[in-house]
Amino acid sequence: MKTLTVSVVTPDGPVLEDAYEMVSCKSETGELGILPGHIPLVAPLTISAVRLKKQGDSDNIAVSGGFLEVRPDKVTILAQSAERPTEIDVERARKAKERAERRLQEKQDDIDFKRAELALKRAINRLDVAGA
């Protein structure tokens, strides 16, 4: 079976470099499924899980936005942050989720609301990917 080389990179350095048969992720315009030979594409990513599949197994990575660059034989994800399930501090993510929910209930100004909303999305995504 044909594969794609997948690289996930953050400002802190590389998170993953491996060959996969399929990449699924959420861009700002919707869900994308990428197979080997895909047309070149650049898309902004949302706070979501990137699902990587090979030989019946799948790996998930929590990303907090960024960009996806697709070439026929390579996918590069440039993310603001990216974590594998084993790297996620579940307790920290739960606390971040609770803090964000409290801030959203307080309904202060628009800037705090948007920041709290993004923090909540990041925390929920991390908990989902960690399976918590």
Show the tokens assigned to 88: 């996620």
- If you average pLDDT over residues 89-105, what whole number do you get? 87
Over residues 39-78, the pLDDT tens digits come to 999 999 999 999 999 998 999 999 998 999 999 999 999 9
- Looking at the predicted structure, is the pLDDT value of residue 89 above 70? yes
| Token pair recorded at residue 64 | 């907090």
- Is the model's pLDDT at 109 over the cut of 80? no
Would you kindly state where each structural domain of the chain is located, as residue ranges?
Answer: 4-85, 89-130
User: How confident is the model over 2-28, as a mean pLDDT?
Assistant: 94
Provide Rg for the chain, Cα atoms.
Answer: 16
Token output for 58: 């799948």
Q: Which of 45, 34, 24, 39 is nearest to 2 (CA)?
A: 34
CATH number of 89-130: 1.20.5.440
- Measured in degrees and rounded to the nearest 5, phi and psi for residue 99 equal -60, -45
Distance (Å, rounded) from C-alpha 15 to C-alpha 61?
A: 9
Q: Select 4-85's CATH number: 3.40.50.150, 3.40.718.10, 2.60.15.10, 1.10.287.610.
A: 2.60.15.10
Alpha-carbon distance 42 to 49, whole Å?
18
Is it true that 4-85 and 89-130 share their CATH fold?
Answer: no
| Interatomic CA distance for residues 128 and 21, integer angstroms | 23
Q: Using CB atoms within 10 Å of the CB of residue 68, give its burial: 0 to 12 exposed, 13 to 18 middle, 19+ buried.
A: buried
